[in-house]
């Protein structure tokens, strides 16, 4: 992959650079973690520390046993001897801390350095307070001890540099190992994601081919004699439904003038003031004339005519209602419309069945095409997400590989090139 080849600048890198494969980096870091040079540097410091400790020990013993000048004033003598006791005590404590640890590793060296720094601080503090009194009695010995402490201080600075450098190296090694693992996991994950992308791309190709076949088959069916016949039936069905709607509207218009009379009849029947033989038919005529039984419409209208006088309608309204009812009975308008409506319903039902039978293959193809389009949208969403994940992982590998190269270069003391080829299996 080009992005892997370009991670560390291609072929124009420094010829003196250390070249490592990512898979070899762990072993190289293990070698660096054992660094025998660190132990040698410690041994050299500890050897010189022993020499200083021997010198300081001699000076402390000499100070402890030295006799002051007999001509020293009593007050100064008492103060000097008391201060000498404090100095000797503190120096002996420092001598104990100057003993190097037996194990020469970073942890032991760090602990020893820390304890020695604290011990030297306390020693210097005590020595500073008592120095002038003791120096008045034993100037040469104090000068020698002061020289020993200076040597210890310088040696601690050197030890701190060695320990600090080693500690920094160990941190670089730890972070580098963590980066190696992270990069390897990212490369492996990217391999899986790319394999999944390839599977999805192949699946998308198949689904698009399937959709194209469906659409071509639907087009062929639409252009066939069977398809044209179905379209003609659909057009005829639309006309029949329009006619059905018109008849239903006409029936509703014919019944509308009777609405008030029928409403009063229902209320009076409910309160037992009158009894209706055709209540159900009258209720259907009031709410849904198209559903009223054809054979009962005339009888229901006759019953309405006989009850109009008892409904309490105003004279003019009563006359118009009677006229309209008699007109409907005489002309049988509702029965004729109901008959035409029933025939239309049958014809529409028959035509719907014929359309359903003729469209069955096309319906199946449409359902299949719908499912395929849905699958295509899902796959395309997965592909977009997968490509984004791959891009993010590749950016992660670039970023972490650059950081790893910098850390390895600091450890090696020279530029490092990493070879990631072969780390990501080909797909």
Q: pLDDT digits over 177-231, tens only?
A: 999 999 999 999 999 999 999 999 999 999 999 999 998 988 888 888 787 888 8
Span 343-368, mean pLDDT? 85
Are 370 and 222 in contact, with CB atoms under 8 Å apart? Answer: no
Span 414-422, mean pLDDT? 84
Span 401-413, mean pLDDT? 91
The greatest distance separating any two alpha carbons of the chain, rounded to the nearest whole angstrom, comes to 162
Of 239-248, 312-321, 377-386, 392-401, the least confident:
312-321
Of 41-45, 268-272, 378-382, 389-393, the least confident:
268-272
Q: Is the pLDDT of residue 44 over 70?
A: yes
> What pLDDT, on a 0 to 100 scale, did the predictor assign at position 6?
42
Nearest Cα residue to 337 out of 381, 366, 373, 294: 294
Between residues 275 and 425, the one the model is more confident about: 275
> What pLDDT, on a 0 to 100 scale, did the predictor assign at position 422?
59
> What pLDDT, on a 0 to 100 scale, did the predictor assign at position 9?
41
Span 240-263, mean pLDDT? 88
DSSP string computed for 180-205: HHHHHHHHHHHHHHHHHHHHHHHHHH
Per DSSP, helices labelled H in 69-224 are 74-97, 106-137, 139-223
At residue 73 the predicted structure's pLDDT band, cuts being 50, 70 and 90, is confident
- Distance between CA atoms of residues 149 and 120, nearest Å: 8
Span 264-271, mean pLDDT? 80
> What pLDDT, on a 0 to 100 scale, did the predictor assign at position 387?
94
> What pLDDT, on a 0 to 100 scale, did the predictor assign at position 205?
95
Average pLDDT of the residues of the chain: 85
> Of 46-60, 114-128, 358-372, which one has max mean pLDDT?
46-60
């Amino acid at each position: 992959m080009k992005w892997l080849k370009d991670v560390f600048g291609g072929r124009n890198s420094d010829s003196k650079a250390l070249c490592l494969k990512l898979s070899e980096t762990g072993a190289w870091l293990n070698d660096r973690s054992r660094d025998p040079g660190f132990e040698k540097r410690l041994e050299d410091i500890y050897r010189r520390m022993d020499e200083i400790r021997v010198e300081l020990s001699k000076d402390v013993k000499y100070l402890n046993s030295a006799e002051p000048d007999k001509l020293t004033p009593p007050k100064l003598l008492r103060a000097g001897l008391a201060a000498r006791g404090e100095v000797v005590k503190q120096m002996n404590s420092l001598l104990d801390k100057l003993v190097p640890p037996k194990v020469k590793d970073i942890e032991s060296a760090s602990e020893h350095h820390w304890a020695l720094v604290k011990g030297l601080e306390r020693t210097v503090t005590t020595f500073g307070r008592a120095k002038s009194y003791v120096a008045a009695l034993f100037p040469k010995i104090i000068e020698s001890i002061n020289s020993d402490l200076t040597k210890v201080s310088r040696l601690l600075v050197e030890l701190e540099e060695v320990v600090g450098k080693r500690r920094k190296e160990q941190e670089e090694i730890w972070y580098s190992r963590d980066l190696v693992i992270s990069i390897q996991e990212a490369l492996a994950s990217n391999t899986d994601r790319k394999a999944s992308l390839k599977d999805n791309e192949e699946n998308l190709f198949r689904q698009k081919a399937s959709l194209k076949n469906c659409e071509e088959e639907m087009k062929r069916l639409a252009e066939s004699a069977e398809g044209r016949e179905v379209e003609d039936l659909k057009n005829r069905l639309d006309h029949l439904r329009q006619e059905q709607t018109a008849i239903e509207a006409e029936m509703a218009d014919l019944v509308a003038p009777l609405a008030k009379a029928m409403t009063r009849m229902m209320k009076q029947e409910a309160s037992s003031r009158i009894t209706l033989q055709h209540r159900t038919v009258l209720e259907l005529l009031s709410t849904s004339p198209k559903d009223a039984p054809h054979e009962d419409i005339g009888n229901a209208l006759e019953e309405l005519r006989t009850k109009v006088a008892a409904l309490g309608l105003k004279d003019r309204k009563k006359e118009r209602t009677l006229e309209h009812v008699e007109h409907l009975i005489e002309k049988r308008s509702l029965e004729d419309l109901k008959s035409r409506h029933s025939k239309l319903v049958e014809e529409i039902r028959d035509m719907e069945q014929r359309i359903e039978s003729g469209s069955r293959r096309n319906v199946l193809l449409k359902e299949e095409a719908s499912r395929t389009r849905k699958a295509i949208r899902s796959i395309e969403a997965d592909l977009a997400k997968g490509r984004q994940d791959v891009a993010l992982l590749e950016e992660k590998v670039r970023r972490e590989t650059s950081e790893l190269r910098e850390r390895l270069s600091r450890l090696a003391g020279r530029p490092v090139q990493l070879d990631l080829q072969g780390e990501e299996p080909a797909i």
